[in-house]
Amino acid sequence: MNDANVWLITGSSTGFGRSLTEAVLQHGYRVIATARKPEQLDDLVAKYPQTVKAIRLDVTNPQEVRAAIQTAIDTFARIDVVVNNAGFGSLGAIEELSDEAIRRQFDTNLFGALDMMRAVLPVLRQQRSGHILNVSSVGGLVAFGATGIYCATKFALEAISEALAKEVASLGIKVTIIEPGAFRTDFNGRSLAVPDQTIEEYAPVSGEFLKWMEQMDGKQPGDPA
């Protein structure tokens, strides 16, 4: 890495995205920090006025994805590292989750990241350099009851990342998958999406798992910083 490094990070508001954005700024790199509510990044803009640009980005909005990339080019003239971090867990038994909830989960965790990758690749190919970091999960490797839909988005993200790494290796572009276990972010708290309707027969699996997730909120072993 050198001082020229320009990062674009999704979901900079809390958790991993927030910690990573702070760490990158502390190291003196430049960042397009993004959030659905960019005012959550005002403190970083005040502290690092020269090196951070905060903008609104909902990863499910294709126009905002493209605008974020354009802002990076207009502001810092290049993009070195793209971090697809935005995501959340929609948990519950397969039969308990509504079609709408399942699609919302895929739209954010998978299609949001995929859209960002496909939109930024022309820039990285032209530069003949760049690094895409995709935040998957241990749930991208193995699925437990009540995590099927969440894990499906991460398994898919892993497949796309593995294939992409091979496609772009000769172009100077790297792809890395990150597979965290349980960390003290907002994941188990405000970000957790639970089923609208629960089915009694799944209580021992799904109900118990969700209870455990809620109890673990704030007590996860991992420190995102």
Ligand X SMILES: NC(=O)c1ccc[n+]([C@@H]2O[C@H](COP(=O)([O-])OP(=O)(O)OC[C@H]3O[C@@H](n4cnc5c(N)ncnc54)[C@H](OP(=O)(O)O)[C@@H]3O)[C@@H](O)[C@H]2O)c1
Return residues touching ligand X (CB under 6 A).
10-11, 13-17, 35-37, 57-60, 85-88, 108, 112, 135, 137, 180, 182-183, 185-187, 191, 220
Catalytic-labelled residue, pool 29, 154, 202, 206:
154
Set 150, 161, 202, 206: catalytic member: 150
Contact call for residues 32 and 77 (beta carbons, < 8 A): no
136 is catalytic: yes
CA–CA dist 56, 194 (Å, integer): 26
Shortest reach from residue 111's CB to ligand X, in Å: 10
Residue 134 beta carbon to ligand X: minimum distance, rounded to whole angstroms: 9
Residue with the CB atom nearest ligand X in the bound state: 15
Side-chain-side CA neighbours of residue 81 (13 Å): 21
Sequence-distant (6+) residues with CB within 8 A of 73 are: 79, 123
150 is catalytic: yes
C-alpha 38/C-alpha 103 separation (Å) is 25
Active site residue 154: yes
Helix axes 113-127, 148-168, angle to 10 degrees: 10
Nearest residue (CB) to ligand X, 38 versus 145: 38
Q: What residues are labeled active site?
A: 136, 150, 154
